[in-house]
Every structure is written in C-alpha cells, then in structure tokens.
Amino acid sequence: MTTTPSAPDKAQFAGEVSERGEWKRQANHFTGRISRDSTSAPGEGPDNQGRWPVEVGRYRLVVCLACPWAHRSLIVRGLLGLQDAISLAVVDPVREEPGWRFWLDEGHRDPVLGIEHLSEAYLATDPTFEGRVTVPCIVDTLTGHVVTNDYPQITLDLSTEWVEHHRPGAPDLWPEDLRAEMQPLIDEIYADVNNGVYRCGFATEQEAYEEAYDRLFARLDVLEERLGSSRFLMGDEPREVDVRLFTTLVRFDAAYHGHFKTNRSKLTEMPNLWRYARELYALPGWGSTVDFDHIKRHYYVTHPAINPTGVVPKGPDLSVWPAVAPALGD
C-alpha cells in the first residue's frame, strides 16, 4: 500500500511514499518517440503509434542543469553534435509552484515556446495531467505539445533515430553488439545508484533509508572493483552507461553525500570511481555541461522538507576536479 504525499511534498519528491517510508519514483507520463520510422509527414503530429517524425529544428529539449536525468540528454546531444538539430531550453534551478520556470530567459519566458512555466506545455498536451512536471522533456515547437518526458528513452533515441544528423566522428554510445551486456548494467546502476540516492534522501523511515543506503554502497563497491581493471565501464570508450553513472557521480559530494545522507564515503574517497569520474569530466562535452552552482542551489533550496533553512553549503572544494575541456558546440 502506498500513500500520496501532500501537494508540497509531491512537488518536491515526484513520487509516492509507502507505509514503511520507502519512496517510489513517479512514472513518466509522455512516452511518444521521435523516430525515423514514423509515418507522419514533416510538419504533422504523431502517427497512430505515437511516433513523431525526425525533423531538424522542430523540437526543443528542455533541461535543468541541476537535474541528473536531464543532464544525460544534454551530454548526449552535445557528444553527437545535435545542437543545430534540436534546440535547447534551460529552466531555473530553483523549482517552485507551479514547477520548472523559464526565469533565466528575458521576460521570464522561453523565447521559442513563449511560456513561463513548463507546466503550460504539459497541460496544453494533457489538460488532465496532475503529476509533477519533470525534465528532461522534448516539446514540439509547432504545436507546443510535449512529445516525451521518458528520460531513459530520450538518450537512446538521440543515438539511434537521429543518426543522419550526427556530427562526423560522433561516438557510438549505444553500439548494437554491446547492448545485451550493457542493459543489465544500466538497470543495476539505475536501481541502486541513480535512483538509489533519491531513495536514501526521500525515505521517511529509518529502515527504508538504511536499506537504500546499503544497496547504494554495495553497488558502488562493485563498480569500484570493476573500474580497477577497466578505463570505462564497457572498456576503453565511454558509452551510454557511462553517461548515466557520471551524472550521479558528479553530484555525489556536492549534493547527495550531505543532503541525501549518503555519507559512508565521498566520491573522492573511492579511488577508482574518482579516477573514472575525473577522466570523464576532463573529456570534451562532459565537464563543460556541469554547473555546480545550479546543482547545489537546486538540491538545497528546492527540498524544504529536507533542508528547511534553504542554506546552500559553501563546499565542497571544486578545485579537486580537473580543468574543463572545451564544449562540443553550443
């Protein structure tokens, strides 16, 4: 049995809390896909299978630089060279009612979509929507409707459906011959690490917190051992699974260690994971997408049930990260 938090808590936590205090993530509501196999003509909406046509310049990726789920899509879009194919909107890191807001833009409105809050696009697409508005999402600029907020599928589709628009020399982040081996690793990392830090932070009972904590560090120990004999998780080249782990690791000491009480070890105290994270951070298109100011302000200001004072910590010392390599386009 689960109970739905009150409106302020639901807005903060995007999920449900069970009677034993275990937090469960909200399901993705919009699951359309932009596909090369869409039967829709350019300029039309989705076909009868919910697939939208690949169309350069039509879609807008909405992200928050603080959000690890959105960060994945930002990295992949840049690595593949899709900046000119899919435009980018960045919301303010501090989320308040009614949700993500475009307050970084002139006039507090997205210059392409013409809206102040992302919730406007959600409700234009589904007037009955009552869940929490999430990023990343892709919005169709022709209709103003949300195509998808299905964050695990977004990055895979950028790799497989937009191939004709990838930059020369773009990496193969989702190679077909590695998918059978990579998918179970992705699933384990999601359950215990990506989502595990949230299960620690949003747990409302001691037992639920400790269970999530133990699973998190057991998985990190497995990954620490794996990276003792491998440069990246799948060998000598970064893949999709590395994107997914990196976005959690880069937030670990700045947010999760203190704010979410994942405090057995800092990332800097796990030698192989720390080496791995720093190496990815130094690669073009990785560290240049990290904004520690947005990360810290979002976590410490947006969750008053966890940090009621809203005080943002001054640390940790970010000079331990290497110099940022150049971005891959804008």
Q: Are residues 181 and 80 in the same domain?
A: no
**Residue 310: strand, helix, or coil:** coil
Are 184 and 119 part of one and the same domain? no
- Residue 82 sits in which domain range? 33-165
pLDDT average, residue stretch 75-96: 97
Does residue 94 fall inside a structural domain? yes
Q: What residues are annotated to the active site?
A: 67, 198
- The string of DSSP letters for 233-288 reads TTBSS--HHHHHHHHHHHHIIIIIHHHT---S--GGGSHHHHHHHHHHHTSTTTGG
Alpha helices in 101-163 (DSSP H): 119-125, 151-160
| 96 confidence band (pLDDT: 50, 70, 90) | confident
Residue 269 φ/ψ, nearest 5 degrees: -100, 5
User: How many Å from the N-terminal Cα to the C-terminal Cα in the chain?
Assistant: 46
| 156 shares its domain with 45 | yes
What is the rounded average pLDDT of the residues 133-149?
97
pLDDT at position 327 is: 82
User: Taking all residues of the chain, what is their mean pLDDT, rounded to a whole number?
Assistant: 93
Mean pLDDT within 162-171: 98
- pLDDT tens across 18-71, in order? 566 676 778 899 999 999 999 999 999 999 999 999 999 999 999 999 999 999
If asked whether residues 57 and 89 sit together in one domain, one would say: yes
CATH number for the domain spanning 187: value is 1.20.1050.10
Predicted local confidence at residue 25, as pLDDT: 79
Q: Report d(CA 148, CA 144) in Å as an integer.
A: 12
| 134 and 37 housed in the same domain | yes
- pLDDT for 240: 99
pLDDT of residue 326: 80
Whether 8 has a pLDDT exceeding 50, the answer reads no
Check whether residue 158 and residue 43 sit in a common domain.
Answer: yes
Taking residues 111-125, report their average pLDDT: 98
Q: What average pLDDT score do residues 89-106 get?
A: 94
Q: Which tens digits make up the pLDDT trace of 288-329?
A: 999 999 999 999 999 999 999 999 999 999 999 998 888 886
Q: Distance (Å, rounded) from C-alpha 133 to C-alpha 122?
A: 7
Q: Which of 11-15, 164-168, 172-176 has the lowest mean pLDDT?
A: 11-15
Residue 3 lies in a domain: no
217-267: pLDDT as tens digits: 999 999 999 999 999 999 999 999 999 999 999 999 999 999 999 999 999
Domain count, the chain: 2
Q: Any idea what the CATH number is for the domain that residue 119 is in?
A: 3.40.30.10
